[in-house]
A = this chain, B = another copy of it.
């Protein structure tokens, strides 16, 4: 039997909003240590990894390891029915092919339960080795989201023809890190754009700092639209951490206070593309 009671239910709502654009169907894995998910996006380019540790739940009962396949869009629809102050409990009986989400209002005057059919989903759990990164940038998540959105607008011609739409999908961002700061660059139909954020640790609030840990300078190219999808997780955390190495996928991480994280992995575009983009 599974019964996970999360007092801060709005957190689960935010988690769903952060990943449902990338992932359609996925297995949620429950074990004694926590509630987690690992899934590729539908075009098998980006990887999402979610962890909510058992300690973060008010009540956490998971008698045996369980993998529950869910349609994230439907799950999101159900979670949207929870009030922002509601307590959410996830329940499943052993051997059952359904999962139940229960929402309790803070005053206990309103109790809702939503039952959803589970799905059989093939998936393999990839081991993600710990790695050393050339550079790690920590910055306000809202700033990162704003930059990705702004750079995207450069590739947006407002033209509805398919080829233009394609251009937009292919729009790339170059992320370059030096000791002084991090630069985001793109080249689109209507021009070019560069945004530089300087290292800045002397701010009033620690979450407004831009902090750069760098072993060696790095410059990598990524598909901008994936970066934009990742920023859907911004409501989960006031800061985002971007870890870069020339041989590794970038890791874009949003920590979930006292519970875990949502991490997005994305392979850099190969050099050929990069040259095209710079020419």
Q: Which residues of A contact B (CB under 8 A)?
A: 71, 73-74, 77-78, 80-81, 98, 107-117, 143, 150, 153-154, 156, 158, 190-198, 200, 210
Q: State whether A110 touches B191 (Cβ < 8 A).
A: no
- Whether the Cβ atoms of B78 and A197 lie closer than 8 Å is no
* A191 pairs with B112, CB closer than 8 A: no
Closest to A187 in B: B115
Is there contact, CB below 8 Å, between A193 and B114? yes
Instruction: Give how many copies assemble into the complex.
Output: 3
Which residue of B is nearest A77, CB measured? B153
Asked whether A78 lies within 8 Å of B196 as measured between CB atoms, the reply is: no
Chain B residues contacting A108 (CB-CB under 8 Å) are 198
Contacts A74-B190, A98-B191, A112-B193 aside, 5 further interface pairs with beta carbons under 8 A come to A71-B190, A73-B158, A78-B191, A112-B196, A116-B191
- Cβ contacts under 8 Å, A71 to chain B: 190
Main secondary structure of the interface of A (DSSP, over half): strand
User: Which chain B residue shows the least CB distance to A143?
Assistant: B110
A-B pairs, 10 with minimum CB distance: A81-B150, A74-B190, A116-B191, A112-B195, A109-B200, A114-B193, A115-B192, A77-B153, A111-B196, A115-B191
Q: Residue of B at shortest CB range from A183?
A: B111
